[in-house]
Amino acid sequence: MKRFVYPFAAIVGQDEMKLALILNIIDPSLGGVLIRGEKGTGKSTIVRSLADILPEIEVVEGCPFSCDPSQPEEWCPECQRRFKEEGSLPKIRRKVRVVDLPLSATEDRLVGTIDIERALKTGEKHFEPGILAAAHRGILYVDEVNLLEDHLVDLLLDVAAMGVNYVEREGISFTHPARFVLVGTMNPEEGELRPQLLDRFGLCVQVEGLKDPKERVRIIERRMAFENDPEAFQREFAAENQALAERIVKAKERLKDISLPDEMLYEVAKRLITLGIDGHRGDLTVIKAARAHAAFCGRDEVTEEDLKVAEAIALPHRLRRRPFEDVGF
């Protein structure tokens, strides 16, 4: 049964959320996105619609880790063995994947596990890949991340930061690359993330239901049109989706050449010191987001506008809360 995804270009409003996701596609080292907002604001729809605008990548055919044929130093043990025996690896091009992490997932399901019985019988290390393997070079989506068990969130963020998944069971270990864009959504009414976990997300956006009646009507009309004939609806927005996908590809190619004046580095550092933001992750994230935004806008140099946009989505969740800040009298 064919599955139809709501087109990214058809989504009304929520520009900040869409931009935060696009910037992470352009520069995956940004550290992912945390999307906070009330229920029914399209958080899940937007994340899943990313599949339509993600660029294609080249992978080793049949590899569960989506190894890059051009990066032999990062091949998984199976790809290394196949290359040694066959002298070459078959390759194909496919879309970047959006992989879901269910709340019911166990640690073994997340990181993968080693078949101990097979290892003891044959002496071979047979690794059963988990969700992190499927998400390598793609997007890992965690809906209601604030309800995920704390030890799994810690583990997830550690792997996302290192880009490597290290599994050890009964003295047998296995390592594989696990670089992905982490996207978490949450409804603050159902509980908050710990501050140290909040800081690990590169960008954070707050979403709310649209207040303009015209925009709300557009949402209703488009959703009903999609449900009535999803195939025709996708065709209607196919050109816009394609144009956006091409713009992202060009931005990724341009990113390495974006220049940033030294005075802007000092400006960012001074602003974050003034705001009392702990650590240095915030400084680096602002700079990376500003460069990605400049690339997306087709510029060769970071401007004040790029910094302003970057600060708006990279800093709010890192600001210290003052006593009684959330208390109403």
Q: Furthest-apart CA pair in the chain: how many Å? A: 73
Q: Which of 97, 271, 281, 299 is catalytic?
A: 281
Question: Distance between CA 227 and CA 190 in Å, rounded?
Answer: 29
Conformational region of residue 178, where left means phi above 0, alpha means psi within -120 to 50, and beta covers everything else: beta
Other beta carbons within 10 angstroms of residue 92's beta carbon come to 13
Kindly provide the b/e burial profile for residues 188-227, where b requires at least 16 CB atoms within 10 angstroms of the residue's own CB.
Answer: eeeeebeeebbbbbbbbbbbeebeeeeeeeebeebbeebe
Active site residue 281: yes
Q: Which positions ≥6 away from 163 have C-beta within 8 Å?
A: 177, 178, 179
- CA torsion sign, 51 to 56 to 57 to 61? positive
Q: At what angle do helices 281-296 and 230-255 cross, to 10 degrees?
A: 110
Q: Under 8 Å CB-to-CB from 328, ≥6 apart: which residues?
A: none
Residues catalogued as catalytic: 281
